[in-house]
Amino acid sequence: MAVDVAEVVAELKATYTSGKTKSCEWRESQLKALIKMANDHEKDIIEALRSDLNKPEFEAFVHEISTVKSSCKLALKELRRWMVPEKAKTSSTTFPSSAEIVSEPLGVILIISTWNYPFLLSLDPVVGAIAAGNAVVLKPSDIAPATSSLLSKLLGEYMDSSAVKVVEGAVPETTALLEQKWDKIFYTGNGKVGRIVLAAAVKHLTPVILELGGKSPVVVDKNINLEVATRRIIGGKWASNCGQTCVSPDYVITTKAFASKLIDALISELEKFYGKEPLKSLDLSSIVNSSHFERLTKLMDDEKVFGKVVHGGQRNKTNLRIAPTILLDVPEDSLIMNEEIFGPLLPIMTVNKIEDSINVINAREKPLAAYLFTNDKKLMDEFVGSVSAGGLCINDTTLHLAESSLPFGGVGGSGMGSYHGKFSFDAFSHKKAVLKRSFAGDIAARYPPYTTRKLQLLKALLNGSILGILRALFGWCGYHQEFSPSLRPPFTDGVLGLGSGETSILSQLSSQGLIKKAMALCSSDKNGPGYLVLGDSLSNSPYITWRSLSNNHLELGPADILYEDNLLVSGLHFSLDSGTTYSYFSPAIYQAVLSQVKELASKAGTPVVDPYLSVCWKPLTSSDNFLESFGSLYLSITSDNTVYFQLAPVDYLAISPLDNVCLGILDSQELGPESENLNIIGDLPLQQRLVIYDYENQEISWGDADCSDLPVQLSSPDMHPVKKRKGESHKGNDISRLHMRKKRKQNFNSP
């Protein structure tokens, strides 16, 4: 072994430790050097690729040289932006704080390349590793010796040799490299060697990216532009290194009725591209060596595919050439259908219905790529939703690799990890989490000695209520809706004054005669504004509904729950909380509402699993039609004269990001056993409603409002935004709720 691998690694580690590779200027200088190298030695690179693979100059330039240069140019353009720490949102748990994600280099990277695109697949990952600020060892493939030798020479001349090195050789050199401890290993090649690389990496807990391969299928539907489709299949198969490409079409699936048309079209286009004697064509690459030639010959000569060749089959062992070959209806247990072909052979399988192709694909290992040619949107959607592969391309082949905004990588047996564009930078970076806090906002409840009260406080905080945050920062509030009465602490009134104590800002200002002891809150949807007002109660306004509260905490009731005119539950006591996203009912009440909703939903949609909420339906037509099939729920408050709090369909049904319709009312047991008897009307129904708390009179009011329009004088009826009710004693109070909010998709945050 000519190179002392341990010495190479030690030098690179010293360079990285010095911090040299971390500067943006060093990274940019190395990327520019790669571009200059490719420009200065374009002819040498093309000649090396011709020597190794008999690769046409066109393919050498387009597929390899220009792609490497494009990767360098993109990294140079975007590098400084990629290096900027990414701002991250913080939660109530760490308030007050700020957070960011810092991309830092991993260290010293080993890149083991392959032979089929020996220039591109050696340098493309190097670009990402350098852009991320790492030191690199490149091990090119010995199966492409001319390109390997050229890379060793040129990188030594153009790159910083203290940080970027090339180690040539075969199995002994690769084995020696894998014995070293790396910060990441990037391997491109077959699954057999990939397992060896992974096993070596496990010894040092080294992360890996494995770019492997697999049998990439092409599904061809009828009623397509057949000429364009066949040209694109040929382009991804034979015009891409004679099928020696990890994402080349490996086999085709079409219907029995359409197979003959597809074969005729392929033969016609192949003759246009390579003539009637393709073995003499200068535009067709050779097989890389005699070993791979013999392997491909064995696939064709398998007795199970005897008589299945419908085009091609010619071969020239001396020149390592095999003509484009098409086979029809080869058996599933044949050799050619049980290993990646990686050559110019293309089997065609037939099915009765094109939809059956998805089951054929899914019965195999997950491929590196999968392709579909169709004009049927339903089939496209089913293909994208049902076929698991490293990447998909619709109505073309291999072209998704050219899009730098898409990650390239495998899944399952076709590999792990991805790169290309920004994904290359990320692949060789550690995403370091950074949280910054001041010395303010220290919460005593997080420290021993632990008490029941501290546990209750932290549960309230972690449940996501804005009021829980205020309790944590400023002390206990009297508004303890999260707890059953037996668990409520002594009543104070915290910072906002939501209770009967006299310690809040509201209480202090009120005691000095500066403001009334009242507050108003109005909130829009997630993208809209809102407002909080202290000291004005609208107590003289005829435009809103007022109700008396219980003495010690802000609850309404008793109330009946009705669906339209049907009584569901009686004796409900509930609170209004705009700090909780969804509404919560105690188990018995929740089940009564759930049964009613399920009965109605069965006529408008089908049950579906949705990650956002536990009870959801897929609408039969549209979410709008689904909502229109529901009526309102009413909370009929009967303590004085009867008034109603209306829950229109958009108040208790939420549209998820998956366009499912979900029940926005949850079982209070989800908040913990101490909340079993809790009933909350949360943020969903309170949006575009003004809620006013009057502590002097122990009353609460609500009314529909435009929360984007802060009134000049809340207590003046002609200036505030609250809409007049049709009447306080019947179920028309919350007018136009469906009209106001029907089109809005709800914000799915943690409740």
Q: Which two tokens stand for residue 266?
A: 């392929």
**Residue 498 to residue 508: CA distance in whole angstroms:** 13
559 touches 637 (CB < 8 A): yes
Q: Which two tokens stand for residue 42?
A: 């374009």
In a 10 Å sphere around its CB, with 0-12 CB exposed, 13-18 middle and 19+ buried, how is residue 307 labelled? exposed
Task: Look at the alpha carbons of 329, 333, 336, 339 in this order and tell me if their dihedral is positive or negative.
Answer: positive
Q: Could you give the 3-state DSSP secondary structure of residue 87?
A: strand
In a 10 Å sphere around its CB, with 0-12 CB exposed, 13-18 middle and 19+ buried, how is residue 298 labelled? exposed
Neighbour count for residue 107 (Cβ, 10 Å): 19
- Is 211 one of the annotated active-site residues of the chain? yes
Report the DSSP pairing between strands 429-437 and 97-105.
antiparallel
CA triple 425-431-437, angle to 5 deg: 140
Amino acid of residue 432: K
Neighbour count for residue 391 (Cβ, 10 Å): 23
Task: Look at the alpha carbons of 192, 195, 196, 197 in this order and tell me if their dihedral is positive or negative.
Answer: positive
Q: Considering only CA atoms, which of 204, 200, 154, 136 is closest in space to residue 174?
A: 200
Amino acid of residue 329: D
In a 10 Å sphere around its CB, with 0-12 CB exposed, 13-18 middle and 19+ buried, how is residue 559 labelled? buried
Bridge partners, residue 110, by sequence: 137, 185
Counting every residue written for the chain, the total comes to: 751
**Residue 472 to residue 450: CA distance in whole angstroms:** 15
Bridge partners, residue 431, by sequence: 103
**Residue 272 to residue 231: CA distance in whole angstroms:** 10
Catalogue the E-assigned strands of 408-487: 408-409, 415-416, 418-419, 429-437
For the packed helices 42-53 and 145-158, what is the interaxial angle rounded to 10 degrees?
Answer: 160
The DSSP symbol for 709 reads: S
The DSSP symbol for 60 reads: I
**Residue 489 to residue 500: CA distance in whole angstroms:** 12
396 touches 370 (CB < 8 A): no
User: Which listed residue (59, 211, 340, 555) is catalytic?
Assistant: 211
Which amino acids are annotated catalytic?
A: 211
